[in-house]
Amino acid sequence: MTETPILSLRNLVVEIPTRRDVLRPVDRVSFQIARGEVLGVVGESGAGKSMTGTAVIGLIDPPGHIAGGRVELDGQRIDNLPAEKMRRIRGKRIGMVFQDPLTSLNPLIRIGDQLTETILAHLDVSEAEARRRAVAALEEVGIPAAARRIDSYPHEFSGGMRQRVVIALALAAEPDLVIADEPTTALDVSVQAQIIALLKRLCRERGTAVMLITHDMGVIAEAADRVAVMYAGRLAEIGPVAEVIAHPQHPYTRGLMAATPMATPPGERLNQIPGAMPRLDAIPAGCAFHPRCPVAEAGCRVGDPPRVEECGGRAACWVVAREAGLVRA
List of residues contacting another protein (CB under 8 A): 44-45, 158, 160-161, 188-194, 196-198, 215-219, 221-222, 241-242, 245-246, 255-256, 259-264, 266, 269-273, 276-277
Closer of 211 and 245 to another protein (Cβ): 245
Contacts of 126 (CB under 8 A, 6+ apart): none
Which of 315, 313, 284 has its CA nearest to residue 300? 284
Vertex 209: Cα angle to 206 and 214 (nearest 5): 125
Closer of 241 and 308 to another protein (Cβ): 241
Helix (H) or strand (E) holding 59: none
Measured CA to CA, the distance from residue 62 to residue 20 in angstroms comes to: 16
Shortest Cβ 270–another protein spacing (Å): 4
- Residue 178: exposed, middle, or buried by beta-carbon count in 10 A (0-12, 13-18, 19+)? buried
Closer of 188 and 281 to another protein (Cβ): 188
Measured CA to CA, the distance from residue 271 to residue 284 in angstroms comes to: 23
**Coil, strand or helix: which one is 248?**
coil
Handedness of CA 228, 102, 262, 291 (dihedral sign): positive
Closer of 139 and 323 to another protein (Cβ): 139
Shortest Cβ 163–another protein spacing (Å): 11
Handedness of CA 203, 204, 207, 213 (dihedral sign): positive
With beta carbons less than 8 A apart as the criterion, state whether 42 and 215 touch.
yes
Shortest Cβ 186–another protein spacing (Å): 10
Shortest Cβ 253–another protein spacing (Å): 11
Please report how the helices 127-140 and 159-171 are oriented relative to each other, as an axis angle in degrees rounded to 10. Answer: 130
With beta carbons less than 8 A apart as the criterion, state whether 35 and 83 touch.
no
Closer of 75 and 144 to another protein (Cβ): 144
Closer of 120 and 196 to another protein (Cβ): 196
DSSP string, 75-111: TEE-TT--HHHHHHHBTTTEEEE-S-HHHHS-TTS-H
Shortest Cβ 159–another protein spacing (Å): 8
Alpha helices (H) in 224-309, listed in sequence order: 241-246, 251-259
Closer of 218 and 286 to another protein (Cβ): 218
Closer of 4 and 260 to another protein (Cβ): 260
Shortest Cβ 62–another protein spacing (Å): 26
Measured CA to CA, the distance from residue 101 to residue 106 in angstroms comes to: 10
Closer of 71 and 277 to another protein (Cβ): 277
Shortest Cβ 241–another protein spacing (Å): 6
Shortest Cβ 204–another protein spacing (Å): 11
Shortest Cβ 232–another protein spacing (Å): 13
Contacts of 61 (CB under 8 A, 6+ apart): none
